[in-house]
A and B are shown apart, each in its own frame.
Chain A
Amino acid sequence: MRDDCETGGRRRGGLRPAMRTGTPESRCTSVKVHLVRPSAGLLAAALMACLALTPSGLGAADPPGEIALTIENNRFQPEELKVKAGAPWVLVITNKDKGPEEFESHDLRIEKVIPAGKTVRLKMPALKPGSYRFVGEYHEKTAKGRIIAE
């Protein structure tokens, strides 16, 4: 099996460097597929096979944490959010007021309107350690807070 794989690799030299990153099994799977019929669909299937064979538990088993933020009486609750730096997370904002509010953070490039009584879930990127300010643009005087990544 391994030999098949090496042969395939030699014939299609361009593919070899990419294949080296996989396990011997995954290398074989993908190369064989290419040898049979190198169509786009099969290529994708081969890629999927490679992905499936990579050590699991890197992303799937560790869903990003959710952090809740509530808007009430034109204020954020809590006004300071602490998150782990370097890991993606999800910000769940619930607007309990009777009017819409816009969650705005220039630091994070987010402008998001949350209609009255609604909840939105914002996928947040992994942040570098630091402080990121945000405001409720419609009530900037009272609605403000910051996210501390550490």
Chain B
Amino acid sequence: MGATFLVTLREAFEASLLLGLVYTYLDKIGARENFRWVTLGSALGLAASVAMGVAVGFLSGPLLDLGPDLIGAGVIFLAVVLLTWHAWWMQQHARGVRGEIQQRIDQARVTQRLWIVGLIAFTGVFREGAETVLFLWGIMAQATSAAGWGSVAAGLAGIATAAALGWAIFYGGKNVSLPRFFAITTALILLLAAGLFSTGLGRLQGLGVLPMTVTLWDTSSFLSDGSVAGSFLGGLVGYRARPSLLEVAGYAAYLLGAGFLVLAGSFRPAPARAAAGEPVTPRSR
């Protein structure tokens, strides 16, 4: 029962983290009317998860051998692109002195395609969604005793706990000042996306698309991937107990590349920005 709880909590953790972040983002920039995109994205993610869960039951042969994995890898890389875009966008509007930032955000609400935030919700839910659906379906199919139904309840409780974490982020985020919220979420999203990127590379290694590389270190005796702390760190910052050279290199390259892309603007204020007022950048201080 406890194991069931942990499995669903682990699977749903990343989705609830992302949902918490994007809902808070929309709330913070006063674009609550765009909540519907996130809700729609999540609902579609859930529907796609159920569809995929049902579909694998009907697939066979090469379609079953490879299909779900290719979709899974595709979703991972799509999520990386979307998250990078979102972090970049937030940074574009986070750099302003007090008072001015609100004006920029109003501008952002007009020009930013906020429905793309809904896509982030979709990928967040769909990534582990199909597995969670299959898992719950499986324990329901095998639930013939009271203990069996206890497992089902524990599984649902795991998802509920993950959802509560998302809510905690949402409510906690309300009390954080806007610039700080943007700074924290940008860092968090970049770390999360770096972890996803290296997971994607690892998955391609597992599929044989990319060659296997040496294992750089082994901390599995200290903090294994399967442990609760290990899997949370895995979802949050991409922790691996036995990472391959390619995964570590990919992680570092992504952080450097995306970090540069996202933060580069801070070091060279655009003319319009300079005219609008003194931007808070390391150089202007």
Contacts and interface: CB of A to CB of B under 8 A. Distances in A.
Given A109-B202, A111-B131, A126-B212, A141 B60 contact: no
B138 A121 contact: no
Interface in A113-128: 113, 115-116, 118-128
Nearest to A126: B212
A102 interface: yes
Interface stretch (B64-72, B83-91, B94-102, B174-182): B64-72
Contacts of B212: 125-128
Given A109-B202, A111-B131, A113-B56, A99 B142 contact: yes
A141 to B, nearest CB: 6
Nearest to B138: A99
Interface string A125-150: 11110000001011111000000000
B149 interface: no
Interface in B35-94: 56-57, 60, 64-65, 68-69, 72
B141 interface: yes
A123 B66 CA distance: 9
A106 B139 contact: no
Contacts, number: 81
Contacts of B56: 100, 113, 115
Contact of A107 (B72, B135, B211, B242): B242
A44 interface: no
17 contacts: A99-B138, A100-B135, A100-B138, A102-B131, A106-B225, A109-B244, A110-B206, A111-B72, A115-B64, A116-B57, A116-B138, A125-B205, A126-B212, A128-B212, A137-B131, A138-B138, A141-B3
